[in-house]
Chains A and B, each alone.
Chain A
């Protein structure tokens, strides 16, 4: 019995030390992010865009929009892309064997005609059935291909694309008119030293979209969606900005990112046999860069905003989180040799260990913490002391940091202008550790178990499409 007690006390202390470690890392990241945001606080970025607009002529971009059963959102998404402020770009929608009316919607809405274009196959992809070009917007193409998954669709888009930079965005995302200018800025300003950049993604559920543009950013009523809004803010403030500063970013969102095409081809394009193709590509790019001894960078850009839909049902969110964790685990495992390998520089020595210890192991250890708490309630005695400490750390780690992120966002980036939205986000952040965090942890753990038993699934979110201005407004009613 004494051995068991000793083991349990040791486990409790281990949990405490682990959480203190994570809290210290997150605090450092938050401080680094704040320094960056503080520097650019109230800076008139539009002036900067206009001054260097001519430089963007030398960096034309092919925007790739993989679409599988996106008939509800694809028109708004493409319209938002066509109204982007950028000197030279093309939009390539890749219909990945949709079973709904995605293709027909595109053809009829944008008056598309079949084009007989010879495609240079630089990356493998499923057969392309036909390519269409819009008669209204000559820079809009539709690639109709057999189903092969998102990565396959992106590879097909790369083969069809004409320009040296590719921008991948989800079929249901909406960009702001200056988003592409801003995300391309580090690439243009660095004279090609930056080979990839990821943008900041925000939640679009319930937003009004008029002529492909967001008319009034506001939070929806769905609590699950509000909770995800908090989560996105925290990930942005306590992760990507800080990691980007030291070229340590391993994940840039597939919902909105730009890559140098030649480097993507060198890295073998998007991996078809993986779940998290976004992370996989970034890790492979880091690997190729290190192996070819090139001093290039991959950056996260805090301000270009891409609005995207997130799951509004628990069942869909569960599948998404399961898949994300499976994707993360797969990429980490596939490139395990990079971990603690000085050949891969800071990515091998800092980034990979960070993702293993915090992102991969985090859910297991945190769930251990929750189980310990429940156990301590019944066991009492010495465990109660540890449990109180653990509970306080969980509050600090979950809710307090989330609340801090919400307020920092409200102060610096200010994408949710209504005061009541900020308070809703704050209240939700306070409740996070009681329901949302344990749920997501369980789903991530489930993803881990599925990978052990080699169960795979391809994610497909149910889309509701964006609200149109002419519809009755819930914002007005609320």
Chain B
């Protein structure tokens, strides 16, 4: 055998040995995991009823509930998270927070100090779930001078700051330095009260793009009628189509508006999405007012706009007759086709 073959053979043998050792390690890990699961199950079976009695039925505190060792602590965590997510009884949360602060803090402190990102993240989730304020404060202190490596961790550290009243969600959203994504901004916005949104609306022009988009979406989703005027005025000012589309959507979701004159220019927008949403909004007004705007859209270059216009007309009183009359009067092949489609849909719907 040549030198290279012998070297390769050695490499393979070393790798195989390493794999063998790793498989032994995994086997031990699995056995420990099995024991851990059995211990957890044992704790849950033993204490489930005592927990429910204590938390929901005003039962007395029982020393048996104090977890002994990491397996039982893990089981307690599972039980309490389940209770927090699925049951709401007055005072329950406070009892859970008090318990976690007394008996679980050390466990999560260890997790938060871990060099592993995933362990720290799990620790952060639980610190927030169980409102471990003192732990949050000490963790934030430790991280004051450290560089946060990921946006996810930065986001949860921001949640800790909110929890410990070091800042507000409002301040974080206004503050551009975090560069949170749209969905992170949205999650933060959902934590705000309506009154806090007011401040953001007033400072709208200073917000980052993702924050603007999230704010518009949340206003629409929560049906905040009081911001309709703000949306209408912003619609005229915004230069970016994506933002205007979101505003039109939000206006539609709120579903209550008195005047459509500011929407009319969007019927002639270069973007079909804007024309479609404008058609949908105008379609909610009585036909004698809206038909003059909707019927020309039956000849629009986009199928979506034509279809929306046809549907908006058809759903109103005498709408079908109006569509039939338009079909007879127009030469536009697309308009005729969309009216036929709509009438078919109307017959079978």
A residues at B contact (CB < 8 Å) = 39-44, 47-48, 50-52, 54-55, 57-58, 115-118, 120, 188-191, 385, 388-389, 392-393, 395-396, 400, 403-404, 407, 410-411, 417, 419, 422-423, 426
Contacts and interface: CB of A to CB of B under 8 A. Distances in A.
A282 B152 CA distance: 29
B86 to A, nearest CB: 12
B344 interface: yes
Contacts of B1: 385, 388
Chain A at the B interface: SS class: helix
B12 A400 contact: yes
Nearest to A426: B23
B116 A41 contact: yes
Contacts of A57: 221
Contacts of B117: 39
B342 to A, nearest CB: 8
Chain B at the A interface: SS class: helix
B26 A388 contact: no
Given A41-B116, A48-B152, A422-B23, 14 more contacts: A39-B118, A42-B118, A44-B121, A44-B122, A118-B342, A118-B345, A189-B183, A392-B9, A396-B11, A400-B15, A404-B15, A410-B26, A411-B22, A423-B23
A274 to B, nearest CB: 27
Contacts of A48: 152
Contacts of B121: 43-44
A474 B125 CA distance: 40
Nearest to B30: A419
Contact of B5 (A43, A188, A392, A410): A392
B307 A58 contact: no
Interface string B13-30: 001100100110011011
A396 B85 CA distance: 49
Closest 5 CB pairs of A and B: A116-B348, A55-B183, A43-B118, A118-B341, A47-B125
Contacts of B181: 189-191
B23 A55 contact: no
Contacts of A419: 27, 30-31
The contact size tier of chain B is 35 or more
A42 B125 CA distance: 13
B307 A120 contact: yes
Contact of B26 (A116, A117, A396, A411): A411
B203 interface: no
A432 to B, nearest CB: 14
25 contacts: A41-B118, A43-B118, A43-B121, A47-B129, A48-B152, A54-B186, A55-B183, A55-B187, A116-B347, A116-B348, A117-B345, A118-B342, A120-B307, A189-B181, A191-B181, A191-B183, A385-B5, A388-B5, A389-B2, A389-B8, A392-B9, A393-B8, A400-B12, A404-B15, A422-B30
A459 B118 CA distance: 42
Contacts of A404: 15, 19
B284 to A, nearest CB: 21
Interface string B300-344: 000100010000000000000000000000000000000001101
A423 B27 CA distance: 9
Given A55-B183, A396-B15, A410-B26, A116 B4 contact: no
Nearest to A393: B8
A389 B19 contact: no
B245 interface: no
B67 interface: no
A43 B122 contact: yes
Contacts of A42: 116, 118-119, 122
Nearest to B155: A51
B19 A191 contact: no
A176 B184 CA distance: 25
Interface in B112-131: 116-119, 121-122, 125, 129
A178 to B, nearest CB: 15
Nearest to A119: B341
Nearest to A53: B187
A396 B8 contact: yes
Given A47-B125, A389-B2, A392-B8, A400 B16 contact: yes
B137 interface: no
Given A389-B8, A396-B8, A400-B16, A407 B345 contact: no
B217 interface: yes
Nearest to B210: A191
Contact of A191 (B4, B27, B152, B182): B182
Interface in B176-214: 181-184, 186-187, 190, 210
A52 B187 contact: yes
Interface-central residue, B23, B221, B303, by most chain A CB under 10 Å: B23
B287 to A, nearest CB: 22
Given A385-B5, A419-B30, A58 B15 contact: no
B2 A385 contact: yes
A54 B22 contact: no
Contacts of A50: 85
A395 B221 CA distance: 59
Contacts of A385: 1-2, 5
A39 B116 CA distance: 7
A376 to B, nearest CB: 13
B26 A422 contact: yes
Interface-central residue, A115, A388, A393, by most chain B CB under 10 Å: A388
A11 B289 CA distance: 83
A91 to B, nearest CB: 21
Given A400-B15, A411-B26, A422-B23, A52 B183 contact: yes
Interface string B256-297: 000000000000000000000000000000000000000000
Given A117-B345, A118-B345, A400-B12, A54 B187 contact: yes
Contacts of B8: 389, 392-393, 396
B118 A40 contact: yes
Nearest to A400: B15
Nearest to A392: B8
B337 to A, nearest CB: 10
B19 A400 contact: yes
Contacts of A54: 186-187, 190, 221
Contacts of B186: 52, 54-55
Contacts of B16: 400, 403
A190 B26 CA distance: 36
Given A42-B118, A55-B183, A118 B26 contact: no
A44 B345 contact: no
Contact of A389 (B4, B125, B210, B303): B4
Contacts of A41: 116, 118
